[in-house]
Amino acid sequence: MMTEQEELTFEALPPSQGRGFARTWWGRAWQQALEDTVLDATLLRRGRKHARAGAVGAVAVRPGRITARVLGADRTPYRTDVLVQQLDDADWERLLDTIADRAGHIAALLDRDMPPELDEDAAAAGVSLLPGIGDLQPECGCGEWDHCEHTAALSYLVARLLDADPFVLLLMRGRGEARLLADLQERSAARAEQDTGPGGAPGVRADVAYAEAGSLPPLPAVGPVAGAGTPPVLTGGAEPAAGLDVAALEFLAADTAVRARRLLADALAPDHGRTPPPPELTVSQDAVRMAAGGPAARIAVRLARGTGRDRGGMERAVRAWRHGGAAGLAVLEEDWTPDPAALARATDQLAAAWEPGSRPRLRAAGGRWTAVGTGAQLRYGPDGRWWPYRKEGTAWTPAGPPAPDPATALATVLEDA
């Protein structure tokens, strides 16, 4: 019976050349189960190569299943799953009894260690804790029905995760850490009561524990902020509910991770607070910002539709965003009335920048000046800068970053014309 959503996600590990995958006996046993199952040395070598090269994305571990996106040799990402046999309820009862029988087992697990005696005790109780030959079942988006280089890469990487935390193995086998520890505590308490009678269980008085909290060492200094991770694969073998766009959710999760990382890095920066925070974006601006992050085409279409743009409109908006963020987008999509004094000053600047006679002829409409016969346009923005535009098809399209003076902006777009 699953009483809680049990899942762990591990961010992608950086590439690491030359080291083995497992150092602990249980990590090696996992690796052995893979190698005994696959047998094909070439395939295993490719799997190790991918895993070392950082081709395995964030790994999601759930009861009976591990999942990740794995980049193939052709750089195509495949959704890759390895299914692990779960222990049944009777197995779990016996295993929990075995662990609870020895105080040292629980202490070792809490220390992220798994003593070989635990495995031996479990085996004596008829439970095989580690998977054996044939216990790792592959499922890969590359279409291979048997193990492939992607399932091998994922399995090798998981050996490394297991090394760091044997609870990962127990989760694959069906139960997460929180539930396991609660079950073990219950068993230990029941045993202590058998030993000493009700209320006689040893413990620490709450006031003593509270007083000791003050003597804890200080928290370590915050190190440099790591890069934002890749999001996990959100579907765990189950079909998503109707109408749920899983790819869009994964995209939002990735976007959120990148922004959260930036906020954290800013908050920790030495000059934090000296520059004003960026202004809040409207929904329409935020959709363009996300579209500029290069989502899958289908998601870009949703962002465009959701904000009343057609495809070409969103493409132009994205270009405006890349050249100048919200200010660039305003110049593309909003009309405004510039100060005539600023336009008069610009006329003088343009006159000074070209030899008389070679100066392009400009037709002005408010803050939009079109160079006649060139397909080039200048737009004066509310930010006081000049933005180069080029005519593509029938639409004026952002053509570059802004310049403080009109001559520079016009020169960039005329050179390209």
**Residues in touch with Zn ion (CB under 5 A):** 140, 142, 144, 148, 150
Three-state SS at 396: strand
Taking each helix axis from N to C terminus, what angle separates 41-52 and 25-38, rounded to the nearest 10 degrees?
130
Least CB distance to Zn ion at residue 109 (A): 33
The residue (of 91 and 149) whose beta carbon lies closer to Zn ion is 149
Closest distance to Zn ion from the beta carbon of 80 (Å): 6
Closer to Zn ion by Cβ: residue 142 or 257: 142
Q: What Cα–Cα distance (Å) separates residue 60 from each residue in 24, 112, 147, 261, 339?
A: 21, 19, 19, 21, 57
CB of 128 to Zn ion, least distance (A): 27
* Paired strand residues for 391: 396
Single-letter amino acid code for the residue at 261:
R
CA distance 203 to 183: 18
Residue 215 DSSP code: T
Q: Which of 133, 141, 155, 129 is nearest to 46 (CA)?
A: 155
Helix (H) / strand (E) element for 140: namely strand 136-140
Pair 416, 399: CB distance under 8 Å? yes
Name the residue nearer to Zn ion (CB basis): 81 or 121. 81
- Pick between residue 147 and residue 390 the one whose CB is nearest to Zn ion: 147
- C-beta of 150: minimal distance to Zn ion in Å? 3
| ∠ CA 97-98-100, rounded to 5° | 65
Q: Are 374 and 414 in contact, with CB atoms under 8 Å apart?
A: yes
Q: Which two tokens stand for residue 42?
A: 């070439």
- Distance of closest approach, residue 76 Cβ to Zn ion, in angstroms: 10
Q: What Å distances lie between residue 304 and 78, 259, 312, 400, CA to CA?
A: 27, 21, 9, 22
* Closest distance of CB 81 from Zn ion, Å: 10
State in angstroms the smallest separation of the CB of 40 from Zn ion. Answer: 13
Complex with Zn ion: residue 105 or 147, whichever CB lies closer: 147
Q: How far is the CB of 147 from Zn ion (least distance, A)?
A: 8
Query: Tokens 């500029």, residue?
Result: 292
Q: Which is nearer to Zn ion, 52 or 379 (CB)?
A: 52
Helix (H), strand (E) counts: the chain: 15, 10
Question: Would you say 150 or 175 has its CB closer to Zn ion?
Answer: 150
**Complex with Zn ion: residue 73 or 107, whichever CB lies closer:** 73
User: Which two structure tokens, joined as six digits, stand for 409?
Assistant: 């902006």
SS (H, E, C) 59-82: EEEECCEEEEEEECCCCCEEEEEE
Nearer CB in complex with Zn ion: 43/254: 43
Name the minimum Å distance from CB 56 to Zn ion: 12
Task: Tell me the C-alpha distance between 103 and 321, whole Å.
Answer: 60
- CA-CA distance, 297 to 288, in Å (whole number)? 14
Rounded to an integer, what is the distance from CA 200 to the centroid of its chain?
49
Which of residues 18 and 145 has its CB atom nearest to Zn ion in the complex? 145
Q: Output the smallest distance, CB 94 to Zn ion, in A.
A: 36
